[in-house]
Amino acid sequence: MAWIEPSDVLLVEDDEHVRLATLQSLRLAGLLAHGVDSAEAAQAWLTPGFAGVVVCDVQLPGASGLQLLQALGQQDRELPVVLVTGHGDIGMAVEAMRDGAWDFIEKPFSVEHLVEVVRRALAQRRLVLENRRLKAQLEDQGVGGPAAGLLGASAAMEQVRTLIGTLGAARVDVLIHGETGAGKEVVARALHAASGARGAFVAINCGALPESVFESEIFGAEAGAYTGAAKRRIGKLEFAGDGTVFLDEIESMPLALQVKMLRVLQERSVERLGANTVVPLACRIVAATKVDLLALAAEGRFREDLFYRLDVASIELPPLRQRREDIPLLLSHFCAQAAERLQRQVPAWTAEQLAAWQARDWLGNVRELRNFAERWVLGLVTEAPVVLPPAQSSEPAPLPAAPLDEALAAVERQWIVQALQESGGNIAKAGERLGLARKTLHDRIRRLGLDADAYRSGA
């Protein structure tokens, strides 16, 4: 039987009175809940991609809750299954958590605790499904096509991709406007790919080339054209053939060279330094700027005629803060790239963290987000509040002598120990204080070599 109605919780409980009372409590808490009386009935209701949480009693007629956990794990390892156990089943439940159970609740339990566990599991489930959706979207956008690197489902990025498709084959010169880090070179490469040209893509940062070598680099030079020119040099414009020359930071090109570039663009030919013959050009020019070139021209710092010659067609590349809806997709993509390169797993993030990241302005745009993704994969991003000691002097506090990983582990251990002490060794309560699921806290306790039972005497 297919899943007919959306549900937050599938409750598997054979005791009818307990099942009905629990369902009523869940529904009063605003959760959509459905109940069945056996593991077999649960499997008949569940389909791949179920967006909710399974709450299941361990002791059931027919297949047990543990058997249902194993069966669901084969279908979807990331489906949250919360086990409900009697007092004598604690050891078995801990083993089940190691096998993939999301959490367990001991009978008798309070309704408030059940609802809290379910809400946390639901938040995790929705994040997992959102990540799957983003991965599918990445596959749709990232496989083939000239604009494969321009990720994003926002209207602004759809418009950019449409323009690339329109302008690519036309091979007209293009001026790209965009802030630093917004992806101007990615757009230029996409235009080159869309052109179908066999020539090279040549990127030139106009602000990085010294004026003394600019002419020979761009236009080329004959042997003996200047001191040290021992042989002919083919310039970038000529080398590109019928490809694309990308002039990044065109606003930083010296005025004297702007005149020469204007003539090259008008004549579509180049004359090497020291030569008397001209070489026809077949390349397309794609220029990029982060400033208003007309405003710069009004100040006498850029040639207005060169601007109009470059601006045959233009593409406005929006900053990341104007397409915040694309941040989850981009972040998933960059994290996957970083994880593959660094041979690490991508740490999970919470819905609250993702919302906070979407609220940032990201002044460095996509480049800043890519760097952030690398730090996230490396474990260098922490959302924990930092409590600073009172300032004793104007000198900055010294960094801890321990390596970063050891320092972070020490802080983590201190927080977990404090939570265990305050909760009397109760892992569930300690997890609530720390905002961690029971399974997550249990794994960290084991990794740090702690013993929760050692703190029970303080309860």
What pLDDT is stored for residue 389 in this prediction? 37
What are 366's two structure tokens?
A: 């996509």
Element (H, E) at 416: helix 404-422
Confirm whether pTM is higher than 0.85.
Answer: no
Q: How far is residue 245's CA from residue 326's CA, in Å, rounded to a whole number?
A: 29
What pLDDT is stored for residue 49 in this prediction? 77
Digit-by-digit pLDDT tens for the chain (459 residues) are 344 445 789 999 998 989 999 999 999 888 889 999 999 999 888 877 788 999 999 889 889 888 899 888 888 888 999 998 876 666 676 777 777 888 888 888 888 899 999 988 888 888 788 777 766 665 655 544 555 567 888 889 989 988 998 998 888 999 999 999 999 999 999 999 988 888 999 999 998 888 778 888 888 888 767 766 768 888 899 999 999 999 999 999 989 889 989 999 999 998 888 778 888 998 999 999 999 999 999 999 999 999 999 999 999 999 999 999 889 888 888 888 888 888 888 887 877 788 889 888 999 999 999 999 999 999 888 654 333 333 344 444 444 444 555 556 666 777 888 788 778 788 888 877 777 777 778 878 877 777 777 776 443
What are 208's two structure tokens?
A: 């990085």
Question: Using an 8 Å Cβ cutoff, are 419 and 452 in contact?
Answer: no
What pLDDT is stored for residue 409 in this prediction? 66
β-sheet bridge partners, residue 202: 245
Element (H, E) at 296: helix 293-298
What pLDDT is stored for residue 143 in this prediction? 41
- Residue 347: closest CA among 385, 386, 381: 381
β-sheet bridge partners, residue 174: 286, 313
**DSSP letter (8 states) at residue 205:** E
